[in-house]
Amino acid sequence: MNSLPTRTIGPFTVSAIGLGCMNLSHAYLPRPDMADAGRLLCHALDAGVTLFDTAALYGFGANEELLGRTLMHRRREFTLASKCVLAEIDGKRGLDGSPGAITRVLEDSLRRLRVDHIDLYYLHRVDAKVPIEESVGALARAVEAGKIGAIGLSEMSAATMRRAHAVHPIAAMQTEYSPWVRNPEIAVLDACAELGAAFVAFSPLGRGLLAGNPNAVTLLPGDIRGAMPRFQSPHLEANLRLVEKFRSLAEDAGRTPAQLCLGWALAKGNHVVPIPGTTSIAHLDEDMATLSHIWPDDLLAAVDRLFCVHAASGPRYPRDAQAQVDTEIWAGESLA
């Protein structure tokens, strides 16, 4: 097993770049077969990745089952993160932040993952029908019972995070963050630093578009990005013009666009831990090679200028998904 530079999440020391496991089983297309997905997970662990992020939602449990089958014989070598609140309800994606539902989903996750303890367990979204204090209280009781080690939140505001933190220390906030999604800079990045929490950046490659992944441009039917305005015309064409300028910045620096995305995120603070996802071993190795590079301030500033607020065209979520997100928005940001 190789060794990569590390960062901390609560009590855990993890590789400075983790692995988001969602697209091995969920959301994006095409997906690998299970044998290839298993090989990628094992390769990631051998390459020094020590943070693996899954959720009850992903593949309606299939992603947790994949990790359970593939990695748990090496359980002591990595930090395991999963999520509740979003899960399968009556065969469909459902949201339930009630304490009873959280307890049921946690038990299902433990069974699928083949473990009796999950290191870091997130509330995947805020449930507007349930006070955040009640949802966090359910996880606090799971900590006391030894079923989880630390509590995280996902796609929530700084104000919600502070309310949660008053009930139980929050180890991590996980939110979309990349050069074209910079909403965490409004308040959440600073709140994490203030409260001693890590900021875990999901989709740090702009859901593949900023990395130049052709599958993010020509989407297959059923790929969830097809419902996201930024991947629809006319927004897509405008965003591809930004992507080409970004590609030129990376090329001039002798780096790949994926590496520039990750280097940019890592430079935003020592508490930032990006978790790119991939179905390709070659791309995983490319991502981890980011950690061996130095990122000049002028290059990072050029990325900031290119992707200034409102530079990206279109909302990041469709309206129904945006309704389940509690993160701050920029003044004048379109949510339609």
Active site residues: 58
Q: What are the residues whose beta carbons fall under 8 Å from the beta carbon of 52, sequence distance 6 or more?
A: 18, 19, 21, 41, 44, 67, 71, 78, 79, 80, 81
**Residues in Cβ contact with 161 at an 8 Å cutoff, skipping those fewer than 6 apart:** 153, 170, 173, 188, 191, 192, 195, 197
Q: What is the 3-state secondary structure of 266-292?
A: HCCCCCEEEECCCCCHHHHHHHHHHHH
Of 236, 274, 282, 333, the C-alpha closest to 4 is: 274
Q: Classify 27 in phi/psi space as left (phi over 0), alpha (psi -120 to 50) or beta.
A: left
Structure tokens at 20: 């988001």
Rounded distance, CA 137 to CA 172, Å? 16
- Alpha helices per DSSP H over the chain: 34-46, 62-71, 99-113, 132-144, 158-167, 188-195, 235-252, 257-266, 281-289, 297-306, 319-322
Q: Which of 319, 155, 179 is nearest to 239 (CA)?
A: 179
Give residue for tokens 């990325």. 303
Q: What six digits make up the tokens of 264?
A: 């940019």
> How many residues comprise the chain?
336
Report the distance separating Cα 49 and Cα 289, nearest Å.
12
**β-strand 170-176 against 148-154: which pairing, if any?**
parallel
What is the distance between the alpha carbons of residues 55 and 124, in angstroms, rounded to a whole number? 8
Dihedral pair phi/psi, residue 62, rounded to 5°: -65, -35
In contact, 290 and 150? CB cutoff 8 Å: no
